[in-house]
Chains A and B, each alone.
Chain A
Amino acid sequence: MLRQYLKMLKTGIKTEPVRKIVRDPDVERLGAEVKRRVDRDFAGSLAIREVDAGSCNGCELEIHALNNVYYDVERFGVHFVASPRHADVLLVTGPVSRNMEAALIRTYEATPDPKWVIACGDCAVCGGEFGISYVSCGAVENVIPVDVKIPGCPPSPAVLLAGILEALGKVRKKK
């Protein structure tokens, strides 16, 4: 146990701006802006339900990274929830496979209004490498309405954060 505490002390707090890789030069400012809007429009807590509708799992890896100690999106009031019934936002990845079409529609219907849909990654935005085929519906907007698109294969965590901020910009309109 002592070693664990020593390691914690030695590691210190790793939350920091990631200037090098972010499109926006100041992720902290981006995060602060996300937090300000979440506080204002969502009583301090924005709930996201992630739905993989046919991705290769690349986007999921980067969405996971949003929760690591460097980005730690929860400090901006953003958290991922287990059920669409708890969600304000659906973050959908992948070209929508036809085998997931019904599940995605049902997830969308199970999400209470008002709700926002973010298409995450090239496949979700335009079909990507897979496009439309006998078993792929292509872009998410071919199946459910989409509010914000985040391109990238996969988008980096910082780009994802910018996408979430963009979605927050559309909130007042819908509410």
Chain B
Amino acid sequence: MTVLSEYLSALNAAGIETTETGSLTPASVWRIPAIAWERAAELAKIRGWRWSAGWGEDLGERLQINALLEREGRYLLLRAEVPAENPVLPSQALHYPAADRSERHTRDLLGIDFEGGDGRRWTRHHAWNETEHPLRKDFPVGGEPPETTPPDHDYPFVAAQGAGVYEIPVGPVHAGIIEPGHFRFQAVGETILNLEERLGYVHKGIEKIAEGRDAEGLARLAGRVSGDTTVGHAWAACLAMERACGVEAPERATFLRAILAERERIANHLGDLGAICNDVAFAFAHYQFGRLREDWLRTQRALFGHRLLMDRIVPGGVNVDLDKAATDRLDAELNRLGRELDTLIDICDRNTTLGDRLYTTGRLTVKTAAAFGCLGYVGRCAGQGFDARRDAPYPPYDQLTVKGVVEEAGDVASRFWVRYKEICVSLRLLRVLLGRLPESDIRTELPPPPAGAEGLGIVEGWRGEIVTYVRFGDDGRIDRFFPRDPSWLNWPALERIVLENIVPDFPVCNKSVNGSYSGVDL
């Protein structure tokens, strides 16, 4: 029995009426009654399905809620509808804590009430009223904001009480060169008792301003969901649009996309390895990794025309190609980086002061990581091995072998080592990709999509699985765009990771997770 039919019979046994409404590659789509929304989550949770993404849509008189689940590389999209007038359905967050922020975001932007969930607002600060919902079609894109938007001063943080307990508010403007967010610590002495994150400060209306764009415009916007994941998000969005239009990118384009994606993974990991070392004052490694990253970015500038690879992936393919001289240069660079890393990592490994700060710091347990459905290196440091490249492969990874990296220690050191091992895996993949680069066009024309055509793009970004949903409206214009960055599932883990650590270790815990603010605030 497949995992899907097993779950289906469980739903039937529970008296939940399920209508299969075809597929949305790579997911099967099932429509269920809104009233059974929570029960369906409970049954999925028991069977080991991972909650992956959730979003809502305004369909006029009705609102549609989506929840994407994954098990053993099979995806299932649950859908329910509620009336736009009184949109209420039970929350899935009771069974899937990962669904919490997503549901709160959906409520703020669409006005859907998730009963039994956390009632506090999330994305809405004070730029629009509680009774207004920006993703409703009748909400003007300009809104009616106040003269100056007041700060978010009355958010009800959880309060800890007791002798010697004090609170440390941090942000939204942080002390470093970093995105804005607010962190509220409760501590006794130096020990953190509780941490609560308050994000949403860089919410810039990505989902709303995507409406009405053409495919090219959407790819550009997707490339700016999170600046460090420009390749990952652009690829996911283009894949979703291509599937909606029923075309596939040429084979050479898929190889070039993978080269860009693996390079992005390596660039970010190099930066983070250095930054983790910097946060525990091991400046030597910071400079060395920073140097390697800079060399890497300069090659990208020289061969792809952009240091961070923005706007290189376009609907239907890519807009950069590599000739023989370029692939040779890239190949030589791989060997050089491999040699450099060998000596550098050896130095890090033997450095006792570095080890002293990283080992056992910021532990994420396997249980917590599984409960939150953590992704990428955050999940992999604590037993969550899911990798879309291997477990739900898309071209060109369906022709390649991707080695899995999993550890179980869950501490900062573990996230450090997982990153290093992921670089090694990417270096091997890049060698294969460059060596087997097929001859074909690098771009195909996107045929005009029929109104209502929808697509799902799931790719393995450097932070983990990225899920992007796209639906076209009239004239090939975008009607709905929802990009789910892996940070949605990794941010909540940070609140657990820091517990019982000392406040001064927060920066290194935070850096080892490196969640995207822009990618979740949208």
- Which among B201, B227, B351 is the interface contact of A154 at CB below 8 angstroms? B227
From B230, which residue of chain A is reached at the shortest CB distance?
Answer: A58
Q: What's the Cα separation between A73 and B365 when bound, in Å?
A: 41
Contacts A56-B518, A97-B204; A65 near B227 (Cβ below 8 A): no
List A contacts of B521 (CB < 8 A). Answer: 97, 99
Chain A count of residues within 8 A CB distance of the other chain: 56
- Does B250 have its Cβ within 8 Å of any Cβ on chain A? no
A56 touches B175 (CB 8 A): no
From A100, which residue of chain B is reached at the shortest CB distance?
Answer: B201
From A10, which residue of chain B is reached at the shortest CB distance?
Answer: B343
B173 touches A69 (CB 8 A): no
A55 touches B205 (CB 8 A): no
A64 touches B271 (CB 8 A): yes
- Does A54 have its Cβ within 8 Å of any Cβ on chain B? yes
- Cβ contacts A to B, 7 pairs, < 8 Å: A3-B343, A3-B346, A21-B298, A56-B224, A63-B177, A82-B175, A84-B173
Contacts A57-B517, A100-B172, A135-B127; A52 near B134 (Cβ below 8 A): no
A133 touches B204 (CB 8 A): yes
- Does B202 have its Cβ within 8 Å of any Cβ on chain A? yes
Contacts A69-B290, A134-B140; A99 near B152 (Cβ below 8 A): yes
B180 touches A52 (CB 8 A): yes
Contacts A4-B351, A57-B517, A82-B176; A98 near B149 (Cβ below 8 A): yes
Q: What's the Cα separation between A64 and B225 when bound, in Å?
A: 19
From B146, which residue of chain A is reached at the shortest CB distance?
Answer: A98
- Which among A8, A57, A95, A107 is the interface contact of B179 at CB below 8 angstroms? A57
| Of A24-32, A39-47, A124-132, the one with at least 4 CB within 8 A of chain B | A124-132
Interface string of B194-233 (1 = CB under 8 A from A): 0000001111111011000000000011001111101000
Q: What's the Cα separation between A102 and B153 when bound, in Å?
A: 11
List A contacts of B287 (CB < 8 A). Answer: 68-69
Interface string of B329-344 (1 = CB under 8 A from A): 0000000000000011
* Shortest beta-carbon distance from B183 to chain A in Å: 14
B141 touches A133 (CB 8 A): yes
Q: Which of B223-253 contact A (CB under 8 A)?
A: 224-228, 230
From B311, which residue of chain A is reached at the shortest CB distance?
Answer: A153
User: A residues near B, CB below 8 A?
Assistant: 3-4, 7-8, 11, 14, 20-21, 50-65, 67-70, 80, 82-84, 94-95, 97-103, 105-107, 128-136, 153-154, 156
Main secondary structure of the interface of B (DSSP, over half): loop
Main secondary structure of the interface of A (DSSP, over half): mixed
Contacts A68-B287, A134-B128, A135-B128; A61 near B227 (Cβ below 8 A): yes
- Does B308 have its Cβ within 8 Å of any Cβ on chain A? yes
B205 touches A133 (CB 8 A): yes
Contacts A98-B149, A133-B209; A60 near B179 (Cβ below 8 A): yes
List B contacts of A60 (CB < 8 A). Answer: 177-179, 227
- Does B516 have its Cβ within 8 Å of any Cβ on chain A? yes
- Does B167 have its Cβ within 8 Å of any Cβ on chain A? no
User: B residues near A, CB below 8 A?
Assistant: 125-128, 134, 139-145, 148-152, 172-173, 175-180, 200-206, 208-209, 220-221, 224-228, 230, 271, 284, 287-288, 290-291, 293-294, 297-298, 301-302, 307-308, 310, 343-344, 346-347, 350-351, 516-518, 521
Q: What's the Cα separation between A133 and B125 when bound, in Å?
A: 15
* Shortest beta-carbon distance from A161 to chain B in Å: 14
B347 touches A7 (CB 8 A): yes
Q: What's the Cα separation between A138 and B282 when bound, in Å?
A: 39
B221 touches A129 (CB 8 A): yes
List A contacts of B310 (CB < 8 A). Answer: 58, 153
List A contacts of B206 (CB < 8 A). Answer: 130
Q: What's the Cα separation between A83 and B302 when bound, in Å?
A: 36
Contacts A56-B227, A97-B201; A50 near B221 (Cβ below 8 A): no
List A contacts of B209 (CB < 8 A). Answer: 130-131, 133
A130 touches B288 (CB 8 A): no
B220 touches A57 (CB 8 A): no
Contacts A68-B293, A70-B294, A133-B141; A55 near B202 (Cβ below 8 A): yes
Contacts A83-B175, A133-B205; A55 near B291 (Cβ below 8 A): no
A130 touches B204 (CB 8 A): yes
A55 touches B307 (CB 8 A): no
List A contacts of B290 (CB < 8 A). Answer: 65, 67-69
Q: A68-B294, A103-B180, A136-B205 are in contact. List 9 more A-B contacts (CB 8 A).
A: A57-B179, A64-B177, A70-B291, A98-B145, A103-B201, A129-B220, A134-B127, A134-B144, A135-B204
Q: What's the Cα separation between A52 and B128 when bound, in Å?
A: 21
